[in-house]
Structure 1
Amino acid sequence: MEEIKVYKLENEFLKVELLNLGASIKKLEVKDKNGNFRNVVLGFDDIEKYRENPAYFGAVIGRTAGRIKNTELKIGNKLYKLDSNNNGNTLHGGKNSISHRFWTVEKIENGLVFSIKSPHLDNGYPANVEIKVSYILNKNELEIKYFAKTDSLTYLNLTNHSYFNLSGNSENTIYEDILKINSDYFVGIDENSIPCETIALDNNIFDFRKSKKLKDFFMATDIQKTIANDGIDHPFIFNEKIGRLEIENLESGIKLSVETDNPAVVIYTGNYLQDIGFKKHSAICFETQEVPNLYLNPSFIDENKAYERYTKFIFN
């Protein structure tokens, strides 16, 4: 059995622990308003639990983040059947995806580069793909850079699945956190959590264009909130080419700003965390990516075109 190894990055602002399994963020410590470090991501104390990691804590997700309906992926004029691991659909790249595999690790200045190869028809996906994910510390920001190359036409949609709790205490919910998203549209989901329709955010409880406490959302009612097991598990489409959102916890004084060149972000409010021994709604995920299943901005790549994306987590 391959050994799970921990790699550390740190500067005066941030401390990060990363795993060679899933290229996962295990720990992310930032300074609170009193100058004390707090770990702001959920994870397992027992490192062996990352072999299963059913909630994908901190992991890189691929080849495709989110759900693909009926496991069917059309690329060019071919239809590919992917691995079925979620009610007849493909979730986060299928069973034993790159989130649950070992990556090679290389040190660079102020960071680490994680690499993995995914062969042709791996979980049904076409083409041989080489993926590199870099984690780079720059003062108060952690940047994740995604790069992939392939030998033939295929589709990629990568993200990171960290669960943020800016209080630093997983016994606290996110209800008091203040969220703001630069997005006029979100994407509704069906009963299987498959994204299916773009919805304008005017007069909608999912509207976070003006800063508001998550508590205000959770106290309201909406069929989309009910479908997601009383929370958010939805893509938000950014208004600008560079997407931005921010979230703040007043008790800790920690504010997180997210910046990305991805067209959307799937926000997930930990609606099933209680199933694995954590508190429901005790964290929030910002899975920057393309809208799953709808292919609104599809990242089709081939031997002449690489996949490149970035996301920055900036702490104040």
Structure 2
Amino acid sequence: MSVKITPLSPWEHYRVGELPRIQIENDHLRLEVLALGGIVRKLELKRPDGRWQNLVLGCDSAGDYLSQKACLGSVVGRWANRIANGRCLVDGYELELDANLYPHHLHGGLAGFHHKVFSLTPIDDGIKLTLTSAHGEAGFPGNLQLEVFYRLKGSQWLVTMNAEVDRPCPVNLTQHSYFNLGGPITGYQLYSNAPYIVMTDKEGIPVTLEETSRNPLDLNPNPTIGELMDQPLEALRQVGGLDHCYLWPDDDAKVKPRAQLLSPASGIKLTLHSDQPGLQLYTGNHLGGTPAYDGKCYKHHQGMALEPGLWPDAPNQPGHTKGILRPGETYQHHTVYQFDNV
């Protein structure tokens, strides 16, 4: 199936200069991609009646994207999620990272990829985004070379990320789109067969690893988001909703089904497949006031992020998945977002 690639009029901002935009489209999906942050500004699904329905949150200017803290639609790195107290050891040397969520590091810090300008190159089935992150940005060591591919295949959006470094460095990347499939997200059904869930303190730092089958936030029964959030749980109250990482022990780098999100109101289903061992599920608990389309602002819980990656604070946590990338190695991340009209 052919993919149509259309350059759009660029944006500009005094802080970052000219910002190219490109639209990629096939018979099922249409994406608008910004050079700023590798942001997917719109992701539209063709409905049975022929109209296009946007399924992600976004805004209308570079200034709006640069001012908001939600990382709407962007590539996140060098480290997605948190690193406790902005510190971790790499080969016995303690890194001091940007503590932008004081005292912790979050989503690459103030110099994160969501504020960087990528180079955009059309390819046969989508677009390639490239970025160089310099030694010392946000406290991370070494120079990092990043390639991100956004491809369309039928009703699937395929995301591939490859990165290399010239010094050992923590690397954990994700795509941070917030999805709204139509109607309030509290009515969405959310399913995952993840065997473990990371329970955190009120600042999102891991405390325990629990079996999901023994936890009230088990997603195997296919609850609605509203049913999950209505539970009188301290784990929900302290973060304002769901903001938890679900884990799989089968860390074999194979792309597998990880979660399913269904809006009964619109009849749209999203199935996420990934090769990452973790999936952070976030119900937009702090979206209130974030710039939206048409000069409006979003409210809390107006969209949901599904963030494949490692678990929070992995470099400081026990276990074998530390997330340290070394020279001569290639970080690889593959995620497939499948959209269906049901």
Q: Is contact 2:191-2:223 (8 Å) kept?
A: yes
- Relative to structure 1, the CA distance from residue 165 to residue 310 in structure 2 (aligned partners, 3 Å threshold; closer, same or farther) is same
What is the percent sequence identity of the aligned residues?
29
Q: Is contact 1:52-1:100 (8 Å) kept?
A: no
The answer to whether structure 1 residue 205 and structure 2 residue 216 are counterparts is yes
Work out the CA distance in 2 between the residues paired with 1:214 and 1:181.
12
- Give the AA of the match of 2:193: N
1:35 Cα deviation after fit: 4.1
Report the more deviating stretch, 256-265 or 180-189.
180-189
**Structure 1 residues 300-315: aligned runs within 5 Å:** 300-315=324-339
1:162 Cα deviation after fit: 0.4
The answer to whether structure 1 residue 235 and structure 2 residue 245 are counterparts is yes
- 2:179 corresponds, among 164, 174, 179, to 164
Partner of residue 48, structure 1: 63
- 2:131 corresponds, among 95, 105, 116, to 116
Work out the CA distance in 1 between the residues paired with 2:282 and 2:185.
11
Work out the CA distance in 1 between the residues paired with 2:261 and 2:216.
17
Work out the CA distance in 2 between the residues paired with 1:119 and 1:194.
27
- Give the AA of the match of 2:309: Q
**Structure 1 residues 48-197: aligned runs within 5 Å:** 48-167=63-182, 172-197=183-208
Which contiguous aligned blocks of 4+ residues in structure 1 show a shift greater than 6 angstroms?
none
Q: Is contact 1:149-1:305 (8 Å) kept?
A: yes
Describe the SS at the equivalent of 1:86.
coil
Partner of residue 8, structure 2: none
Q: Is contact 2:164-2:331 (8 Å) kept?
A: yes
Work out the CA distance in 1 between the residues paired with 2:100 and 2:86.
9
Report the more deviating stretch, 291-300 or 34-43.
291-300
Q: Is contact 2:274-2:308 (8 Å) kept?
A: yes
Describe the SS at the equivalent of 2:236.
helix
Partner of residue 308, structure 2: 288
- Give the AA of the match of 1:184: P
Work out the CA distance in 2 between the residues paired with 1:217 and 1:292.
21
Work out the CA distance in 2 between the residues paired with 1:240 and 1:182.
12
1:47 Cα deviation after fit: 4.3
1:23-51 CA-to-partner distances (Å, cap 9, x unmatched) read 01100001335443210001113443112
Under a length normalisation based on structure 2, what TM-score does the superposition of the two structures give? 0.87
Work out the CA distance in 1 between the residues paired with 2:206 and 2:151.
32
1:254-296 CA-to-partner distances (Å, cap 9, x unmatched) read 1100000000011100111123231221111001000020344
1:203 Cα deviation after fit: 4.1
- 1:24 corresponds, among 39, 49, 69, to 39
**Structure 1 residues 2-41: aligned runs within 5 Å:** 2-41=17-56
Q: Is contact 1:196-1:294 (8 Å) kept?
A: no
Report the more deviating stretch, 21-30 or 193-202.
193-202
Q: Is contact 1:33-1:252 (8 Å) kept?
A: no
1:16 Cα deviation after fit: 0.2
- Give the AA of the match of 2:258: R
- The size of the alignment, in residue pairs, is 311
Q: Is contact 1:33-1:253 (8 Å) kept?
A: no
Describe the SS at the equivalent of 1:5.
strand
Under a length normalisation based on structure 1, what TM-score does the superposition of the two structures give? 0.94
- Relative to structure 1, the CA distance from residue 221 to residue 288 in structure 2 (aligned partners, 3 Å threshold; closer, same or farther) is same
- Relative to structure 1, the CA distance from residue 162 to residue 41 in structure 2 (aligned partners, 3 Å threshold; closer, same or farther) is same
- Give the AA of the match of 1:81: E
* Structure 2 unpaired stretches of 5+: 1-13, 291-296
Work out the CA distance in 1 between the residues paired with 2:279 and 2:212.
15
1:101 Cα deviation after fit: 1.0
Q: Is contact 2:262-2:268 (8 Å) kept?
A: yes
- Relative to structure 1, the CA distance from residue 46 to residue 182 in structure 2 (aligned partners, 3 Å threshold; closer, same or farther) is same
Report the more deviating stretch, 85-94 or 31-40.
31-40
1:253 Cα deviation after fit: 1.1
1:193 Cα deviation after fit: 1.7
1:7-35 CA-to-partner distances (Å, cap 9, x unmatched) read 11000000000100000110000133544
* Structure 1 unpaired stretches of 5+: none
Describe the SS at the equivalent of 1:43.
coil
- Relative to structure 1, the CA distance from residue 55 to residue 116 in structure 2 (aligned partners, 3 Å threshold; closer, same or farther) is same
Work out the CA distance in 2 between the residues paired with 1:142 and 1:291.
23
